């Protein structure tokens, strides 16, 4: 396994064309799938052969599989015909002009060793900050899964996604996800428009 070669090929996808252009950009930059990738962080399978025209299909699939295993790509959004979310290409932050939904309920998702639990089973902010760390790719996978579920709901509101925060609508419920680096966990805040179905979700 040539790791150097794989990383070089992965950067054909995971890059900023304005800072790191490639010759193929000239032919692809006006196509919808290229725009989706670098404006909305969605990699459509049909674009892969065009990004790697000199590689056989088996090598293209190998690169994509490595990206999936390493968290560079996450399957998401059935409505986008099997597209993959590329977390590194998401914007760092949201447009501040559009405020986040007001939320009434807050949950902290933390990964930790059960051996480190305090004897009284009381989880404090100090405990979280000292013992919890976010596994690489967990936030992106959680966002991808909720985005998939949003496609099954009746709500047509488009998800708002960034590298550190996401707003996803599940029917009548708005879910705000955010990385809480201070506590080493993922924060989920819920807003239910009519108060129903929150417990079920």
Distance CA 66, CA 148 (A): 22
> Residue 88: phi, psi to the nearest 5?
-65, -20
Residues 16-34: tens digit of each pLDDT: 999 999 999 999 988 999 9
Confidence of residue 60 (pLDDT cuts 50, 70, 90): very high
Confidence of residue 195 (pLDDT cuts 50, 70, 90): very low
What's the pLDDT at 199?
41
Residues 110-156: tens digit of each pLDDT: 876 666 666 666 677 777 777 777 777 788 878 877 877 777 766 66
Q: Return all residues near 98 (Cβ < 8 A) that are at least 6 apart.
A: 160
Rg (CA), the chain: 19
Give me the percent of the chain exceeding a pLDDT of 70: 81
Contact, 167 vs 103, CB < 8 A?
no
Helix-helix angle 3-10:57-70, to 10 degrees: 90
């Amino acid at each position: 396994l040539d790791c150097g070669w794989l990383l070089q090929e992965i950067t054909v996808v995971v890059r900023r064309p304005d800072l790191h252009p490639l010759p193929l950009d000239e032919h692809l930059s006006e196509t919808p799938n290229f725009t989706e990738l670098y404006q909305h962080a969605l990699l459509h399978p049909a674009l892969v052969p065009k990004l790697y025209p000199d590689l056989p299909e088996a090598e293209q699939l190998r690169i994509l599989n490595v990206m999936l295993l390493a968290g560079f790509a996450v399957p998401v959004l059935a409505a986008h015909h099997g597209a993959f979310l590329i977390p590194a290409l998401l914007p760092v932050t949201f447009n501040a002009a559009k405020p986040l939904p007001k939320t009434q309920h807050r949950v902290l998702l933390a990964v930790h060793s059960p051996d480190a639990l305090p004897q009284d089973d009381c989880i404090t902010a100090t405990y979280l900050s000292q013992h919890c760390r976010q596994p690489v790719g967990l936030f992106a996978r959680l966002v991808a899964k909720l985005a998939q579920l949003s496609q099954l709901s009746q709500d047509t509101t488009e998800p708002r996604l960034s590298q550190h925060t996401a707003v996803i609508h599940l029917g009548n419920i708005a879910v705000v996800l955010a990385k809480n680096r201070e506590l080493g966990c993922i924060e989920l805040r819920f807003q239910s428009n009519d108060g129903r179905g929150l417990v079920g979700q």
